[in-house]
Structure formats: C-alpha cells, structure tokens
Structure 1
Amino acid sequence: MNFERPYILILLLALPFIWQFLVKKKNVVKIKFTNVDILTKITDDNKKFDLHKTVSLLTILCLFFLIISAAGPRKGIVSKEETKHVVDIILCLDCSTSMLALDFYPKNRFDVAVQAAKEFVKGRKNDRIGIVVFSGIPILTCPLTTDTETIIRVLNNSRIGMVKLDGTAIGDAIMLALSRMKQESKSKIIILLTDGRNNMGQIDPVTAAKAAQSMGVKIYTIGCGTATGKSLYIIDDPFWGKRQVYLPQDLDEPTLIQIADITNGKYFNVTTKEKMFAVFKEIDKLEKTEIKVKEYKEYKYLYQIFVVLAFICFITRFVIEKILVFRIP
C-alpha cells in the first residue's frame, strides 16, 4: 500500500500534542450539595473506568483515520503484457548401441546426453521442444510442446535399443525433425547428437542439411568420442557373460561440421561428461528466447475503509460522551 498524497501524513505528528491537551483538559464545575454520598459513588466508579481518557482516545483515533483517508491510501495492481519470441527446438539423439560406450564412466554416452538434455530443457520454459531418437530409423517420441514435465518424462523413458533397427540414420533423423517444425516460427533449431557416421536411411545428411537451410533451420551438431581410437564397452557374451572390451570409434566429424556450416550452426566435440554439459549450456546462451514486457499499474483506492473506521470511532465517542457519562444538569 502507498499514498497518493503522502505529505498529508505529516499531520499525524500533531496527534500526540492533541492527546496531551485532551487528557489534561478538565471542566471544573462548583455546585453546593447537602449530601455528597452520591458524588463519592460516582468518583469511585470513574476510578475503575476512566471515561474521559476513553473519549479522548476515540477522538485521536477518529482524527488518525481521517488523516490516513485524506492522504489517499491505495493498492497497486500490476498487469503485464508480454511479447515472447519463442524458439522451436528439436533434440535428435542417437540411441544406437555404439552410445553404450563408457567414455563418461560410470555412465555411458547416451545416459550423460539425456542428463545434459534435461538440464537444457529445464531452462527453456518458454520454448517449444520436441524429441527425435534414432538409430537405423528415426522415431518422434515427443512433438513440439511447452510442457516441460512431459519432455522430461519422455527423456527419462528414452533408452538405447528403443529403436529395434540398429545403425545410424542421421539424414532421416534431420528430415523427420524438419517435418515437425512449424512454419510460422521465427527461430527453429535442431540439436543433433551422435557418435557415428550415417550408414542407414534413405537421405544423405548433407542433402538433409540443405533442406534445413532452405527452411531457415539452424542445426547444432554434437559429436561424442573421436574419429580414431577405441572406446570401452560392456558386452553380454553368450559364452563368457558380461565383460569389458575395447571397440573402435567411428565418429564422422567432417560430415557433422559440414551440416553445421550449411545451416549456420556450430559443431561441438564431446569427450567428457563435463564437456557434454558445457556444450548444452553454450547452445542455451546462443539461442536465447526474447521476451518484451510492458508493465501497467492500476490503483485500487482504500480511503473508504478509513472513513468508515473514523465514523465508527466518532459514533462510539458520541454515545459514551452524551449517554453513558453521568452529567449534572
């Protein structure tokens, strides 16, 4: 609460002086009585309850509420008008068996990617986000939505092997994501995460990237692992049971770089868990949602409340002074 005319509140400083004046003020009337017993009784009753001070207090309260009312008490009601520049984002996550590599021990590549993606989603509450997982074929597991809880739930349920056909269909995954983009959106991006090279599907990744360019879709590519060397895997051998083996890596970095360049995106290489989270944070900074806020303030005036309180104090004072106080005619 604030006041439209706060300078009037300075009158409150006079109330203590008025109180002192009212309390000390006493009208003394001299009358001759032949029997003072009745006066003694009246004096004893007034000692129990000082009506003079009560009347003075009600007078002060009445003045207090009137001053507050005159100052124009009001309560601000703020209304906002927001203009949001929403970004459409589709996460394309490779869920092929090669993502089982334990580069980010004790988690595999896919689990760490999902963790980083969830943190990314939590910070994009105003954007529409969808999810495509792919291996030999792509599958849309979540269409574009602003429902953060649904997106997180879909990510939690994502796992390696959910697409039965193994392989890496990068081009088809991009085309599926493009088919779900809304044409009216001003900003559209795809975050493509993989650790391999395109070896499945009908559409070449570069051709898909050119289609994305024509639609104004930017693609950020994330490559897990390296183009050479070996990665640690745990395999379930039918004879020897679960055991650790090292298998060669096959990351096609040139193609991922080319996809990013064609669409005016950016390529990131990830070899540690920390870098995975850092990459998603960098993409989050690069693609910020623009929100323009216009704020309007309306006021609800509260002076009526204080006028009513002052009136109640005045009526109570009148009743006590004119009716309850014993007066000698």
Structure 2
Amino acid sequence: MDLTALKTWLTGLASQLHWPAGVPRPSFLWPQFLWLLLLIPVLVLLYLWLQGRRRKLAVRYASLAIVREAAGKGPGWRRHLPPLLLLAALTLLLLASARPVAVIALPSNQQTIILAMDVSGSMRATDVEPNRLVAAQNAAKAFLKDLPRDVKVGIVAFAGSAQVAQLPTLNREDLVTAIDRFQLQRATATGNAIVISLATLFPDAGIELRQLSMDRMRSIGRSLDQPEPQQKEFIPVAPGSYNSAAIIMLTDGQRTVGVDPLDAAKMAADRGVRVYTVGIGTVEGETIGFEGWSMRVRLDEETLKAIAQKTAAEYYYAGTAQDLNKVYQNLSSRLTLEKKETEISSLLALAGAVLAVLAAGLSMLWFGRVL
C-alpha cells in the first residue's frame, strides 16, 4: 500500500466513524508516520504474552497458595494500570509524530474595531424599546465591556455625513462618553460611514470621500490632454485578509445621501477589512416624525447583506433590544476568537509526556520500580 492509498484509506475510515460533535476532526501533515501505530497492537500482544508466561511460571510453585496467604491480597488492577497509561502515552506520541492539524478556536489578532453607528432621525423610533438609539447605545456599551482590554475601539457617528466621534483608544470611559454624546441628525450616509472608518484605520493611506468620485471618473474616462494625477500605487488584497481591524456598522435605514455604500464596501474589501453590518428596525418600512418632518424609513437589508458579503463578513438583524444585545455578544466572541487550522502535535506530545510520567510515578509508588 503506497502513501496515497494509505491517506485515502484513513480518510474513508474517519468518515465512517462517528466523530463527537464539537471536537475538531484532525488531518495529518505526515500521514506516513501513522504506520507506526501498528506497534500498539504488537505491544498489547507482547504484554498479554508476558502475563501468560508469568502465570505459567507461578504454577510451578507447589506452595503458591501458602505464599499468597502470607503475602496478602495481590496488586490486582494496579498491576495493569501503569502499563496501560504508558501504552496510551506511546499512542499519543506516535500520533504527534504524524503532525496532526485541526481547526480550533484561538485568540484573534484583532487589534482595532470601528463602531460606525447610525444617528439619523429615524433612530428615535420606539419599535425597539425604549427607542432605537438608546438600545443601540446600551448594546454598544455592553459590547465594550465584553471586549478584551487590549483591543482598541473607535467610534464613527453618521447621518447626513460621517464624523469620527472618538479615535481608536483603549480607554473605555472615553468611548462611553462619545456614545452618550450622540445627537440625532437628518439623512443617512452609510457609504460615507465606511469610508471614514477606513480613513480612521489607515490614517496614512490618504483615503478620502472624493477618492471614490475620482475612481468613478477614471472608469468613465478622461480627456487625452488631462494629465493623470500622481498617486502611490495601491495593490488590492483578498477580502477579509486583514486580521488586525474590523468595522461594525449599525443602521436602521437606507442610504439617502453620500457615496454608494457598495463602492465604499469595495474599498474595504480591497484592503482586506471586514465590514459587519447590523440592521435594526422594520424591513417593511415605518413613518417617523422628526423635528416637524414626517419621513418613511425602511431597512435596506439587501444592501447591508451585500456589504457584508463583499467584505467576507456577516450581516445581523436585530428586531428588539434583546436581539441587539445578542448580536453584539456574538460579534464580541466572533472578533476575539477565530477558527484557525493549527498543528496540534505539541498538545498530543504534552499529553503523552504527562501520561508517561504518571505511569512511572504510580509504578514507583505501588511497586518500588519504574514499570
């Protein structure tokens, strides 16, 4: 059997076995070393043979019963426990030699999170108690408490325009103060919120709102006598590949002014930044009164889902204050823990070493010898 056939056989065997739910299913970088596991049944047979040989030798003593009475009760199960522990240790060490790899949850490298929060007039609607804005503020504060203290957070507030309410900081008190200072305004510029968030994450990249307009002009074309402006070459990266930062955008309406949010999402995707979108409010639409004005607002779920998909992130809908808190709890765990394919041979080797030491210790304690 060659190595390819061995790997195929092991894969088929693993698919037939019932793997416990929640336990990572490992693969192996060096599956050829799994042949060494054949030593385990050989050692088991050798141990059974030695036990049988010991019993045959004991029969030769005519006074065996007298000796047993004088010695008292034998070791019983204790005689077999150290060898079994040593066998388990050897099995783990042989598995470690095959370099197993599994997808496990590890602490994320996330260093900065931008909270882009909608402060348009529709956020005063009371369909989410006590109203959408207060529910969003409370959920954001709870989110800050759940985050590790070494994660920086910035706040971007947006309505008809987008402004940085708080630069990324570790100071949670400053962030809470910025959230409490929100003032409702007219219109909704979701695209501007993404661009300003990117400019906050990359302050030296020269990201501006007018950059999208310039890019759109280039796509349409420009006259031959108009010189091309000198810009530093930008090389896009894979969406979601930038693991040091992320954007969470919460909104209850659809874009009414500002840049196209899908164009802004492309800017984020080209820089590898994930934009997690959170929708709050009614999808069907609702009439809201604000400062003597009457407006009908509708949650644009299609665009929010498209933004999340384009940036390799996720979209969440929150219909109540409780749902919103759950969304932020989910995002907290999602951004601080991430599943990675990791080699776990060191963990198996450590477990094997612990079992070997335990086996030797019990043997010394019970029989005065190492196995």
Q: Render the CA deviation track for 1:278-328: whole Å, top value 9, x for unaligned.
A: 0000001111169xxxxxxxxxxxxxxxxxxxxxxxxxxxxxxxxxxxxxx
Cα gap change, 1:128 to 1:250, in 2 (>3 Å): same
Q: Which of these residues, 288, 291, 301, is aligned with residue 253 of structure 1?
A: 301
Displacement, 1:229?
A: 4.2
Look up the equivalent residue of 1:181 and give its one-letter code.
L
Q: Distance in 2 between matches of 1:172 and 1:234?
A: 24
Cα gap change, 1:151 to 1:227, in 2 (>3 Å): same
Instruction: Map 1:257-272 onto structure 2 (within 5 A).
Output: 257-272=305-320
Q: How many residues align?
A: 194
* Cα RMSD, aligned residues only: 2.5
Q: Distance in 2 between matches of 1:168 and 1:92?
A: 12
Counterpart of 1:278 in structure 2 is: 326
Counterpart of 1:187 in structure 2 is: 244
Counterpart of 1:116 in structure 2 is: 139
Q: Which of these residues, 135, 156, 160, is aligned with residue 136 of structure 1?
A: 160
Q: Distance in 2 between matches of 1:117 and 1:263?
A: 22
Contact 2:110 2:245 in 1 (8 A): no
Displacement, 1:208?
A: 0.6
Displacement, 1:272?
A: 0.5
Query: Which secondary structure state, in structure 2, belongs to the residue aligned with residue 287 of structure 1?
Result: helix
- 2:274 aligned with 1:209: no
Higher gyration radius (CA): 1
Query: Which secondary structure state, in structure 2, belongs to the residue aligned with residue 268 of structure 1?
Result: strand
Query: Which secondary structure state, in structure 1, belongs to the residue aligned with residue 201 of structure 2?
Result: coil
Q: Distance in 2 between matches of 1:170 and 1:212?
A: 13
Normalising by the residue count of structure 1, what TM-score does the alignment of the two structures yield? 0.55
Counterpart of 1:223 in structure 2 is: 279
- 2:197 aligned with 1:172: no
Cα gap change, 1:248 to 1:144, in 2 (>3 Å): same
Cα gap change, 1:84 to 1:99, in 2 (>3 Å): closer
Q: Distance in 2 between matches of 1:84 and 1:228?
A: 37
Q: Render the CA deviation track for 1:35-93: whole Å, top value 9, x for unaligned.
A: xxxxxxxxxxxxxxxxxxxxxxxxxxxxxxxxxxxxxxxxxxxxxxxx99342100111
Q: Distance in 2 between matches of 1:230 and 1:182?
A: 37
Normalising by the residue count of structure 2, what TM-score does the alignment of the two structures yield? 0.49
Cα gap change, 1:176 to 1:235, in 2 (>3 Å): closer
Look up the equivalent residue of 1:216 and give its one-letter code.
G
Q: Distance in 2 between matches of 1:93 and 1:237?
A: 24
Displacement, 1:227?
A: 2.1
Q: Distance in 2 between matches of 1:278 and 1:177?
A: 24
Instruction: Map 1:137-152 onto structure 2 (within 5 A).
Output: 137-152=161-176
Q: Distance in 1 between matches of 2:256 and 2:290?
A: 22
Q: Which of these residues, 119, 123, 126, is aligned with residue 95 of structure 1?
A: 119
Cα gap change, 1:226 to 1:181, in 2 (>3 Å): same
Contact 1:171 1:198 in 2 (8 A): yes
Displacement, 1:235?
A: 5.5
Look up the equivalent residue of 1:256 and give its one-letter code.
L
Look up the equivalent residue of 1:175 and give its one-letter code.
V
Counterpart of 1:299 in structure 2 is: none
Displacement, 1:259?
A: 0.1
Q: Distance in 2 between matches of 1:279 and 1:234?
A: 27
Q: Distance in 1 between matches of 2:291 and 2:155?
A: 29
Contact 1:92 1:173 in 2 (8 A): yes
Q: Distance in 1 between matches of 2:146 and 2:290?
A: 36
Instruction: Map 1:29-48 onto structure 2 (within 5 A).
Output: none
Identity value in percent: 33
Cα gap change, 1:186 to 1:222, in 2 (>3 Å): closer
Q: Distance in 1 between matches of 2:290 and 2:257?
A: 23
Counterpart of 1:9 in structure 2 is: none
Cα gap change, 1:237 to 1:206, in 2 (>3 Å): closer
- 2:184 aligned with 1:160: yes
Q: Render the CA deviation track for 1:234-288: whole Å, top value 9, x for unaligned.
A: 66659xxxxxx9x644111100000000111111111111001000000011111
Displacement, 1:101?
A: 0.6
Query: Which secondary structure state, in structure 2, belongs to the residue aligned with residue 126 of structure 1?
Result: coil
Q: Distance in 2 between matches of 1:175 and 1:183?
A: 11
Moved over 4 A (4+): 182-185, 233-238
Counterpart of 1:78 in structure 2 is: none
Counterpart of 2:32 in structure 1 is: none
Query: Which secondary structure state, in structure 2, belongs to the residue aligned with residue 92 of structure 1?
Result: strand
Contact 2:189 2:255 in 1 (8 A): yes
Contact 1:188 1:216 in 2 (8 A): no
Displacement, 1:135?
A: 0.5
Cα gap change, 1:235 to 1:207, in 2 (>3 Å): closer
Q: Which moved more, 1:222-231 or 1:140-149?
A: 222-231
Q: Distance in 2 between matches of 1:251 and 1:122?
A: 28
Cα gap change, 1:283 to 1:84, in 2 (>3 Å): closer
